[in-house]
Amino acid sequence: MDQERIKRQAKQILDNFADALASVEKEGKEEYVEREDFERKEENEKESDPEFRQDFLKNSPSHDTDFIIAERGEWK
């Protein structure tokens, strides 16, 4: 019996919270940060091994000379 009372109280609290959230107004504009450099510069950059790229692409069932061609989640 105590469990049922606790469940009802929990549901009441969640319902009240959901109602309070529904009444909160969302701001009209999205916030973002403008940066001078779009990408960050990696520290300690090394030249990539061209053989690694070719070996990596050979493992893919479908690829062109530079990229793996796959649907999201398809190649596992």
69: in domain: yes
Global pTM? 0.34
**Domains identified in the chain, total number:** 1
Given this model, what pLDDT does residue 30 score?
65
pLDDT tens string 33-72: 777 777 777 777 666 777 888 888 888 888 888 888 877 7
CA separation, residue 21 to residues 12, 17, 29, 31, 48 (Å): 14, 6, 19, 20, 50
61: in domain: yes
Range of the domain at 66: 48-76
What are residue 67's phi and psi, to 5 degrees? -135, 150
d(CA 54, CA 60): 10
72: in domain: yes
Residue 12 has pLDDT above 90, yes or no: yes
